[in-house]
Amino acid sequence: MRIVLLGPPGAGKGTQAAEVARRAGIPHISTGHMMRAAIQSGTPVGERAKGFVDAGRLVPDDVMIEVVRERLAQDDCAPGFLLDGYPRTVAQAGALKNLLTELDLALTHVVELVVPNDVLLERLLERGAREGRSDDAAEVIAERLKVYEELTRPVSAFYAEAGSLVRIDGVGTIQEIQERLAAALENGPGEP
């Protein structure tokens, strides 16, 4: 399975992706997690990403496209992968398509978690209070939601036009959403 999991900040991508990837025996690739790890280790990518992540803005496409290209070339991606938080711009979606075409591969599923903004805000503020993730401060969350509307919403349209997008309701218990997701992956649209 080669899966893209879309959804706004706080939609539950990371929560759900971990379980789906574990069950499918494929790596869970979270570009947000990769950026936070790079920032913590002070790598060149981390140095470039830091200001953007702290401000709730997107890391530039050229950086992200290269990071994902390198990650997907690793051996553990041979049986498939689950991308969480990528692509986030139409340019990234195009680059992913080109990369997979080069490798003679295609995505098998594109699933979007749909969650209204008031629920997103509540979840992220709660996590900010609990875990102290710096981009979960109220003003940074607002920026992340704005960036999502402007730059990532069109990615859903990109896949919807290709006929490969499945939208599922991301409100409910973690278990309920896991079951909806499992059903969507079983009845996926096939090769987008």
**Which residues are part of the catalytic machinery?**
13, 88, 127, 133, 144
Q: Is 10 helix (H, G, I), strand (E, B) or coil?
A: coil
By a kind-dependent CB cut-off of 5 to 8 A, residue 127 interacts, out of ligand AP5, Mg ion, none, with ligand AP5
Nearer to Mg ion, 161 or 178 (CB): 178
10 lines the binding site for ligand AP5 (CB under 6 A): yes
Stretch that binds Mg ion, among 6-14, 157-165, 167-175, 177-185 (CB under 5 A): 6-14
List Cβ<8 Å contacts ≥24 apart for 61-70: 61/89, 61/91, 61/92, 61/95, 64/31, 64/88, 64/92, 65/91, 65/92, 65/95, 67/31, 67/34, 68/29, 68/31, 68/92, 68/95, 68/96, 68/99, 69/95, 69/99
Q: Does 14 sit near Mg ion (CB under 5 A)?
A: yes
Encoded tokens for 104: 């003679």
Q: Least CB distance from residue 18 to Mg ion, whole Å? A: 10
**Of residues 71, 70, 64, the one with CA closest to residue 92:** 64
Residue 78 CB, nearest approach to ligand AP5 (Å): 22
* Contact between 192 and ligand AP5 per CB under 6 A: no
Tell which positions 17-76 bind Mg ion, by CB under 5 A.
Answer: 32
Q: Are 16 and 24 in contact (CB under 8 A)?
A: no
Burial 129-157 (b: 16+ CB within 10 A, else e): eeeeeebbbeebbeebbebbeebbeebbe
Among 3, 4, 6, 12, binds ligand AP5 (CB under 6 A): 12
Question: What does 94 interact with, of Mg ion, ligand AP5, none (CB < 5 to 8 A by kind)?
Answer: none
Binding site for Mg ion (CB under 5 A): 13-14, 32
Binding site for ligand AP5 (CB under 6 A): 7, 9-15, 31-32, 35, 52-53, 56-59, 64, 85-86, 88, 92, 123, 127, 135, 144, 172-174, 177
